[in-house]
Structure 1
Amino acid sequence: MFKEIFGQRKNEKENEISEMIKLIDSQLSMISMEIEKMKNLASKIENIEKKMAILEELIKEQGVEIKPRPVSEKTKETIKTLLKKYGSLNAWQLGKLLNMSRTRCAEYLKQMEEEGILVSEWKSRKKYYSLRQ
């Protein structure tokens, strides 16, 4: 009688383990498929980057200048106002104040620095911008 009870429990445990193994194998197959998709995407991205480099060269050969995205004058004025108020800010701080991405703020700040509106200073690992005096 004990053998029958323990034998049944053993069979139940073996069945549970077998089901778990099947589930894990299924998930492993799905992961493998996703990895293959990612490899294909990486290959496609690489091809796109190569084609873009060729296009950039062709455009340069034609003498066409690629200009950066136009900067909104309203945003520039807002940045100037904030810098007057706070003195100096980095791209991250400005992004929080304007509810914009740090990257986009960095683009604005860099362009304004190139135009001579702002000056920058490195403090530790961050670049702070302020209005030119």
Structure 2
Amino acid sequence: MGPVTDSLAALDEPVRSVFASIHARLRELVPDGITEGMSYGMPALLYRGKGILATVQAKTHLSVFPFSSAVVEQVAPDLAGFSLSKGTIRFSLDQPIPPAVLDRLIELRRAEIDAKRA
């Protein structure tokens, strides 16, 4: 077990399933090199030792953190009506992140990490 697994286990349904499906999709798109750890004080999935994605439940919303303001900026045009900040996408059970946008977010962050290692 790791920090992400432990944090998921502490969540109630349906939030646990929503976050688990986001993590599963990340693992499908990035099948190698994903580990659990901490990034910016949050349980996070890491790629090559860098935070690729964290999911957090707040009192009034759910959040995805791709640990990159540039990545959030790149997908922002496809997220009209969502609350965004420098490195966060806020969503709800009623308004989940569209699957195509989630895929793009994951792919952009992976490419960013790969480019920094090159």
TM bucket by the smaller chain?
A: under 0.3
Bigger RCO of structures 1 and 2 (CA < 8 A, at least 6 apart): 2
Q: Which structure is larger by alpha-carbon Rg, 1 or 2?
A: 1
Bigger proportion of residues as strand: 2
TM-score by length of 2: 0.23
Bigger proportion of residues as helix: 1
TM-score by length of 1: 0.21
